[in-house]
Each structure stands twice: as structure tokens, then as C-alpha cells.
Amino acid sequence: MRAKAGFTLLEALIALAIAGIAMAAIFQMQHQLVNGQRLHEKAMEQASVRRNALAVVKDINPDVTPTGDVGLPPNQTLHWTSQALNNANLSAGFPSGDGQYYVTLYKVSVEVDGADGQPVDTFDVERMGWTSQAAAAAGGTGTGAAATR
């Protein structure tokens, strides 16, 4: 008697089950890769928003502009508010003596809103505010100057 060529039904079912398990593992891995890519893109977008907001906030003087709003591209708005963390102090001069400015440390709370008005990112940063002695003597313009009077 000669052996028949091919697979039996049981062998075909076992091969199909093994292929199904392997394909399920491959699809699960592909699903995880897609989710990882989405998370990466979201993190990169949030980092870009924060980088843009920090570029704006680094140039403000909380003594002069304690609150404000600025438009950011594409359709976002940056809002900030400042809160003095200490009283205004006279800066140090070089090489010795008093400087020309009153300085105050501020906590600047920043919120970036999207086009729909919903917050995209919020964070706090510490910034130094300053007012010249001449401006403080003339009435000052900011919180730090008012604290010295």
C-alpha cells in the first residue's frame, strides 16, 4: 500500500491554529506600535507647544507685565499670571555696593489654550522681575517696585 500525499484534516487544523496564534501575536505587536507612534506624536506636539510658550515667557518682565495674553501659531493663545514669591530687593552692584534695580522672584503660571479655548498645556516657571531705582522713585510700574515703597 502506498502512502497518500498531502495533509490530513487534523494536520491542517493544527497548522491553521498555529498560524492563527502567530498572526494574533503579530497583529497585537502592530497595534502596540501604532499606539506608541500616537503617544510619541502627542508628546512631540506638547513639547513644541511648551517650547513656544517658554520662548515667549522668557522675555517678559513680571514686574512690568504681571499678566498677559499672546497669540501663538497656529490657533493657540498663551495666558500668564505672576505672583511675587518675595519682596523686592535692591540688586548687588559690581564689584561692590548696591545695584541699579529692584529685583523680585515671581512664580509665573502659564496656560496655553487651543483654538477651541480648551487648555492644551499648563505649567509654572520662576522668573525674575526688575524695576530700576529711577522708575521706582517715580512711582514704579510693577509689584516689586510697589513692595519697596
Q: Per residue in 26-68, pLDDT tens?
A: 999 999 999 999 999 999 999 999 999 999 999 999 999 999 9
- pLDDT for res 1: 54
Where do the domains of the chain lie? 9-148
Q: Per residue in 74-126, pLDDT tens?
A: 889 999 999 999 998 888 888 888 888 999 999 999 999 998 989 999 999 99
Answer with the residue of higher pLDDT: 96 or 2: 96
**CA 116 – CA 114 distance, rounded (Å):** 5
Residue 79: name the closest of 65, 67, 64, 62 by CA.
Answer: 67
Element (DSSP H or E) covering residue 148: helix 143-148
What would the DSSP string read from start to end of 19-67? HHHHHHHHHHHHHHHHHHHHHHHHHHHHHHHHHHHHHHHTT--TTT-SE
User: Which pTM value belongs to this model?
Assistant: 0.69
pLDDT at 140 over 80: no
Average pLDDT over residues 118-142: 85
